[in-house]
């Protein structure tokens, strides 16, 4: 007799390999089934459920809520690890159940059975419907395994695996179950390890997106989100962040694949947002995400590739390895991938991978820690980064990546006024040259040397260096950004705009790059575009002092002095009286006729300069606004002697227009190589 249908959380369980166990050791098999039955009865009752049927070595249970069912599944797997251990797999689904002749029937029961059939020992697999009920509950962690086509199920179903502590995650390539027979080639089985993950993920994306495509307009794009640290102590953030960044850098080497930079991708770290929304914000077609669990020398990496437009998984895989095995296949797999990319993509792409990695796991961990601390951009973090890079080099003196990281860090020390210009550039140059001696095709090292040349006003070699870095890695956002600054300085303003727009395309959520694009527009005389761009920057980051400063400059060039003053004052307030913004305010005061205001700014700059370093350029700027050419040029000479960063923009600085024809100004331009 039929009963009314009811919606329930359905749990199917199955003892893996029970038939073989019975044949091999009947006594052990009996003990296992007794342990299984008694534990299941007790725990299902504890979580408000009901055991409906036993099927030999399996069972069907129902619960009033998905939360109860998931908690019960976790408790069952934990309990059945006790002796005698029961190798169990569990499937969960939400669906309708009805009874006929004391048997539970219904489509929901059918689906739950098929979900369970995919599992392996110590797995808990759930359907997308079930996952929707628990995904916002912090007690449960999960990962998508992709979509599967089951027998007697009309539509493909997305399946998730719970990843709570103590559970195993099945490898998709090894999953079998009640699936439809599929024609054609099987999915590529990906060899695992950290380096293999990097290389093969890049190859997979190439295979998915580029094979057979000749039209450049079909270029695909991807963002690599920071992998989640799933380690028991949650103390491996440097490792998970580092893996994500290394993967991002590897994918960026693939010509024709646009890879969003770290700044934008990592801005979503810790935010529980739908991947489709993230993809929309970043302007990409695909997202790669995953998790890392590291305990001692054991590593588990799970990665999944998601197509943004559909929110579906194109690929996912889980790897379990020991740290000592990470680099065993590095050279072989890297060479295989690069060789394939040579043939399929560029034909003659240099090997950028050789020498940039290390075979020493301890050196690699030090390198990852160095990059992690460098990316914090704090005084303490930058100093720690140097120590870790140096430790990596001590363990592997031919580790080009560590030398390149060291070069970047020394340059950052100068930017943060933690090291003198001469010391920072000398040490950075030594490290970058050492990296290039090991691997002459390392884009990061070429970029570092070009950046040093830019600071030293070696315009030709700086331009050549940036072009070389971009040729080696067209997705290297820092090269595009710094090259745009170089081009602005030497007066190639239209190309500077192009390069800065490319940097923004690769790093769309970077406040700094968005703001600097506005400055590039100003240098090109596109003041309305600059104002519009800074408005976008402020929508991205309302607290950006730099965006207000640059917009103020654009307003000032349009003689909109009231708007300029308002923006400069806001920039000052947000930056806690940055001397650069204070000088800008003094200049616009003078330009708009507020002479007393300009002199008051000068007085303030003199007071500040007794407490902290203030560039002589800022004094020159205010005196230029007051049209006091003698003092303006006197302070510009001091700025030249101190190698002030602002001096490199003498050729394009619109606020110094009244000095341009003075022989002394021209002489300064000649000294820094900007006058022809």
Q: Report the mean per-residue pLDDT for the chain.
A: 82
Q: Comparing 462 with 340, which gets the higher pLDDT?
A: 462
> Residue 662: pLDDT above 90?
yes
Q: How many helices (H) and strands (E) does the chain have?
A: 27, 14
pLDDT, tens digit, for every residue of 18-31?
Answer: 777 877 788 888 88
pLDDT, tens digit, for every residue of 154-199?
Answer: 677 888 889 888 888 776 656 766 564 443 333 322 233 344 344 4
Over residues 327-351, the mean pLDDT reads: 36
What pLDDT is recorded for position 195?
A: 43
Query: What backbone torsions phi and psi does residue 302 show, to the nearest 5 degrees?
Result: -120, 130
Contact call for residues 566 and 553 (beta carbons, < 8 A): no
pLDDT confidence band for 587 (50 / 70 / 90): very high
Of 157-166, 288-297, 440-449, 625-634, the range with the highest mean pLDDT is 625-634
Q: Which of 21-25, 119-123, 519-523 is predicted least confidently?
A: 21-25
Over residues 129-140, the mean pLDDT reads: 90
Structure-token pair, residue 48: 């408000």
What pLDDT is recorded for position 260?
A: 85
Structure-token pair, residue 434: 């050492």
pLDDT confidence band for 658 (50 / 70 / 90): very high
Q: Comparing 320 with 527, which gets the higher pLDDT?
A: 527
d(Cα 197, Cα 289) in Å, to the nearest integer? 12
pLDDT confidence band for 83 (50 / 70 / 90): confident
What pLDDT is recorded for position 177?
A: 62
Over residues 364-387, the mean pLDDT reads: 85
Q: Which of 218-222, 397-401, 661-665 is predicted least confidently?
A: 218-222
| CA neighbor of 408 nearest in space, from 455, 449, 462, 367 | 449
> Residue 423: pLDDT above 70?
yes
Over residues 571-591, the mean pLDDT reads: 93
Question: What are the helix (H) ranges across 491-594?
Answer: 493-506, 511-523, 527-540, 545-557, 561-575, 579-591
> Residue 510: pLDDT above 60?
yes
What pLDDT is recorded for position 110?
A: 83
Q: Is 296 exposed, middle or buried (0-12, 13-18, 19+ CB in 10 A)?
A: exposed
What pLDDT is recorded for position 204?
A: 44
pLDDT confidence band for 316 (50 / 70 / 90): low
Question: Using CA of residue 51, residue 55, residue 59, residue 60, what is the dihedral sign?
Answer: negative
> Residue 314: pLDDT above 50?
yes
| CA neighbor of 410 nearest in space, from 383, 388, 433 | 383
Relative to beta strand 49-55, strand 103-105 is unpaired
Tell me the CA distances in angstroms from 471 to 431, 441, 464, one per residue in order.
21, 10, 10
Q: Which of 53-57, 120-124, 524-528, 656-660 is predicted least confidently?
A: 53-57
What string of H, E and C letters represents the secondary structure of 44-65?
Answer: HHHCCEEEEEEECCEEEEEECC
pLDDT, tens digit, for every residue of 628-650?
Answer: 999 999 999 999 998 888 899 99
Q: Which of 58-72, 405-419, 654-668 is predicted least confidently?
A: 405-419
Q: Comparing 241 with 256, which gets the higher pLDDT?
A: 241
β-pair partners for 221: 258
pLDDT confidence band for 229 (50 / 70 / 90): confident
Q: Which of 14-28, 198-212, 533-547 is predicted least confidently?
A: 198-212
Q: Which of 247-256, 498-507, 654-663 is predicted least confidently?
A: 247-256
Structure-token pair, residue 66: 């998905």
| CA neighbor of 161 nearest in space, from 127, 191, 190, 132 | 127
pLDDT, tens digit, for every residue of 539-574?
Answer: 989 999 999 999 999 999 999 999 999 999 999 998
Tell me the CA distances in angstroms from 208 to 26, 54, 172, 202, 307, one per residue in order.
49, 44, 17, 10, 11
Structure-token pair, residue 6: 């009811």
> Residue 3: pLDDT above 70?
no
Structure-token pair, residue 258: 């646009």
Residue ranges of E strands in 408-455: none
pLDDT confidence band for 102 (50 / 70 / 90): low
């Amino acid at each position: 007799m039929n009963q009314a249908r009811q919606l329930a959380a359905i749990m199917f369980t199955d003892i893996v390999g029970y038939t073989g166990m019975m044949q091999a050791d009947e006594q052990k098999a009996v003990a296992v089934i007794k342990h299984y039955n008694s534990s299941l009865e007790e725990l299902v009752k504890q979580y408000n459920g009901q055991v409906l049927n036993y099927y030999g070595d399996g069972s069907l249970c129902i619960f009033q809520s998905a939360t109860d069912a998931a908690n019960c599944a976790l408790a069952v797997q934990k309990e059945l690890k006790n002796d005698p251990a029961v190798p169990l797999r569990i499937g969960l689904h939400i669906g309708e159940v009805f009874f006929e002749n004391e048997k539970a029937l219904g489509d929901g029961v059918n689906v739950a059975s098929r979900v369970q059939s995919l599992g392996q020992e110590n797995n808990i697999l759930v359907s997308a419907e079930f996952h929707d009920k628990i995904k916002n509950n912090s007690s449960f962690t999960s990962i998508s395994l992709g979509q599967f086509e089951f027998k007697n199920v009309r539509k493909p179903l997305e399946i998730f695996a719970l990843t709570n502590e103590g559970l195993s995650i099945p490898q998709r390539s090894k999953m079998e179950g009640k699936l439809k027979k599929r024609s054609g080639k099987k999915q590529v089985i990906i060899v695992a390890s950290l380096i293999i993950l990097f290389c093969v993920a890049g190859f997979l994306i190439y295979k998915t997106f580029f094979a057979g495509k000749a039209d450049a307009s079909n270029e695909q794009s991807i963002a690599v989100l920071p992998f989640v640290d799933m380690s028991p102590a949650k103390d491996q953030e440097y490792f998970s962040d580092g893996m994500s960044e290394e993967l991002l850098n590897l994918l960026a080497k693939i010509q024709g694949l646009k890879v969003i930079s770290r700044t934008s991708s990592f801005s979503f770290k810790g935010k529980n947002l739908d991947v489709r929304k993230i993809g929309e914000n970043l302007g990409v077609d695909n997202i790669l995400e995953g998790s890392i669990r590291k305990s001692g020398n054991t590593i588990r990496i799970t990665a999944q590739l998601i197509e943004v437009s559909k929110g579906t998984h194109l690929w996912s895989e889980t790897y379990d390895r020991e740290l000592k095995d990470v680099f065993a296949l590095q050279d072989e797999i890297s060479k295989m991938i690069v060789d394939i990319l040579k043939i399929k993509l560029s034909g003659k792409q240099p090997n950028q991978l050789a020498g940039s990695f290390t075979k020493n796991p301890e050196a690699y961990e030090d390198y990852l820690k160095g990059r992690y601390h460098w990316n914090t951009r704090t005084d303490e973090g930058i100093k720690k980064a140097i120590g870790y890079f140096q430790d990596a080099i001590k363990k592997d003196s031919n580790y080009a990546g560590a030398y390149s990281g060291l070069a970047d860090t020394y340059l950052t020390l100068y930017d943060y006024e933690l090291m003198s210009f001469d010391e920072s550039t000398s040490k950075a140059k030594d490290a970058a040259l050492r990296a290039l001696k090991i691997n002459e095709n390392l884009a990061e090292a070429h970029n570092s040397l070009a950046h040093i040349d830019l600071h030293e006003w070696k315009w030709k070699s700086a331009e050549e260096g940036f072009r070389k870095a971009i040729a080696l890695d067209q997705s290297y956002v820092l090269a595009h950004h710094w090259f745009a600054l170089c081009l602005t300085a030497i007066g190639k303003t239209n190309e500077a705009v192009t390069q800065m727009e490319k940097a923004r395309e690769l790093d769309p959520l970077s406040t700094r790059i968005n703001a600097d694009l506005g400055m590039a527009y100003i240098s090109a005389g596109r003041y309305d575009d600059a104002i519009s761009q800074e408005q976008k920057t402020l929508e991205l980051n309302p607290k950006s002092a730099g965006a207000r400063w640059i917009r103020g400059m654009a307003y000032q060039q349009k003689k909109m002095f009231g708007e300029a003053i308002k923006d400069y004052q806001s920039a000052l307030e947000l930056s806690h009286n940055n001397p650069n913004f204070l000088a800008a305010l003094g200049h616009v005061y003078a330009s708009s006729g507020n002479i007393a205001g300009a002199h008051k700014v000068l007085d303030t700059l003199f007071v500040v300069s007794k407490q902290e370093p203030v560039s002589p350029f800022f004094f020159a700027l205010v005196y230029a606004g007051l049209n006091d050419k003698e003092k303006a040029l006197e302070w510009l000479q001091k700025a030249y002697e101190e190698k002030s960063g602002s001096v490199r923009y003498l050729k394009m600085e619109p606020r110094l227009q009244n000095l341009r024809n003075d022989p002394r100004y021209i002489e300064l331009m000649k000294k820094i190589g900007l006058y022809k």
